[in-house]
């Protein structure tokens, strides 16, 4: 038996603390058995998020330092390192080379490298990683700093190329998929080829809209339905596979980063 009972659905990247009714969201996750990773954007927000999720069998809390906030919050890195031993989950962390945040990119790299090294030293961490306009650099950081193969990187809202996806797969990365990714034409061909055993679902709520409102964890079944249709897979089989993947990343021996042994599958919609 795992720590979160018998999950039915997975929302592996959601900003629970940014909803006005976050306590209601927690109750919804419990009722619908949606394992939800509540990511944080700063280390100072971690304690409050732990409090919000307390008593829930399905809501997890990630320790984060968002790359878009590094320019003003890098001073919280020592707090991040102090809190890291208390959690298995890390997120949201990563790099953002978009024009609004590029001025802090070198500092982002310094912070991200240090976070990865700390995770690697402690081991057993599951990371939800931001990689806007920086997929190749994020993968390079993973290659250089996660050397003990004892952590699981999950690439949140992946928008890289097929070759970058193949590199990430070789490193043992998983990919968390939201409804907007499926709707966007530029992502659909890649989503058709990623190995099913490396997929998770997410909402990235409240930053993604669903039916003209912020997406909620309870919208994940619709995302799974969209993904099943895109891949030509039975909905129940895909839902079961996603839960299997969730359990796999929590196993003592998650997918190893076996370079050169795993590629994008293009011949069958069932991979």
Q: Tell me the pLDDT tens digit for each residue of 25-37.
A: 999 999 999 999 9
Q: Is residue 257 part of a domain?
A: no
State the Cα–Cα distance between residues 257 and 94, nearest whole angstrom.
Answer: 19
pLDDT at res. 263: 39
Nearest to 39 by CA among 54, 50, 23, 29: 50
pLDDT at res. 254: 66
State the Cα–Cα distance between residues 159 and 104, nearest whole angstrom.
Answer: 21
Q: Is residue 254 part of a domain?
A: no
Q: Is residue 29 part of a domain?
A: yes
pLDDT at res. 252: 77
Nearest to 125 by CA among 258, 257, 262, 254: 254
Residues of the chain falling short of pLDDT 70: 1-2, 254-271
State the Cα–Cα distance between residues 46 and 22, nearest whole angstrom.
Answer: 14
pTM, two decimals, is 0.93
Q: Is residue 120 part of a domain?
A: yes
pLDDT at res. 261: 41
Q: Is residue 263 part of a domain?
A: no
pLDDT at res. 258: 44
In CATH, what number is assigned to the domain containing residue 116?
A: 3.20.20.140
Q: Is residue 147 part of a domain?
A: yes
pLDDT at res. 125: 98
Quote the domain boundaries for residue 145.
9-249
Q: How many domains does the chain have?
A: 1
Q: Is residue 271 part of a domain?
A: no
Q: Is residue 267 part of a domain?
A: no
CA distances 104 to 54, 71, 101, 232, Å, are 34, 6, 6, 42
């Amino acid at each position: 038996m795992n720590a979160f009972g018998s999950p039915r659905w997975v929302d592996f990247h959601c900003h629970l603390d940014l909803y006005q009714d976050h306590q209601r969201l927690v109750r919804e996750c419990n009722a619908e058995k949606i394992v939800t990773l509540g990511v944080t954007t700063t280390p100072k927000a971690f304690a409050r998020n732990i409090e919000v999720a307390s008593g829930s069998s399905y809501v997890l809390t990630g320790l984060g330092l968002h790359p878009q906030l590094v320019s003003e919050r890098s001073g919280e890195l020592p707090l991040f390192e102090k809190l890291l031993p208390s959690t298995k989950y890390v997120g949201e962390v990563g790099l953002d080379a978009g024009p609004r945040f590029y001025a802090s990119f070198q500092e982002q790299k310094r912070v991200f490298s240090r976070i990865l090294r700390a995770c690697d030293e402690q081991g057993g961490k599951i990371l939800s990683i931001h990689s806007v306009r920086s997929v190749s650099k994020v993968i390079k950081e993973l290659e250089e700093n996660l050397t003990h193969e004892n952590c699981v990187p999950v690439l949140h809202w992946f928008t890289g190329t097929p070759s970058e996806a193949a590199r990430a797969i070789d490193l043992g990365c998983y990919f968390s998929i939201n409804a907007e990714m499926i709707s966007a034409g530029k992502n659909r061909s890649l989503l058709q080829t990623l190995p099913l055993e490396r997929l998770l679902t997410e909402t990235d709520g409240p930053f993604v809209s669903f039916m003209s409102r912020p997406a909620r964890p309870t919208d994940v079944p619709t995302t799974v339905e969209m993904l099943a249709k895109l891949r030509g897979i039975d909905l129940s089989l895909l839902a079961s596979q996603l839960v299997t993947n969730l359990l796999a990343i929590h196993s003592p021996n998650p997918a190893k980063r076996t370079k050169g042994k795993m590629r994008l599958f293009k011949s069958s919609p069932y991979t």
